[in-house]
Amino acid sequence: MTPTLTRPELTAADRCDRCGAAAQVRAVLPSGGELLFCGHHARKHNQRLVELAAQLQQNA
């Protein structure tokens, strides 16, 4: 059986990589890297993230 790695839920300590606001979205890139975005920057960059086939994890 192959183990599956899971990423932790976003917390209040997670900050947007663009502006430092509270992170609401984690974008996991196909290369394995990840970016954290506030709601504003997640909406602004959504189309490009979809084009890159990023997996988006929203804060609940």
Ranges of beta strands (E only) in the chain are: 25-28, 34-37, 55-58
Q: What is the pTM of this model?
A: 0.85
Least Cα distance to 48 among 35, 60, 19 occurs for 35
pLDDT of residue 59: 84
Least Cα distance to 32 among 3, 11, 7 occurs for 7
pLDDT of residue 33: 94
Which pLDDT band, with edges at 50, 70 and 90, does 60 fall under? low
Phi, psi (degrees; rounded to nearest 5) at 42: -65, -45
- For 2-59, the pLDDT digits (tens) are 555 678 899 999 999 999 999 999 999 999 999 999 999 999 999 999 999 999 999 8
pLDDT of residue 2: 58
Least Cα distance to 35 among 18, 48, 47, 21 occurs for 18
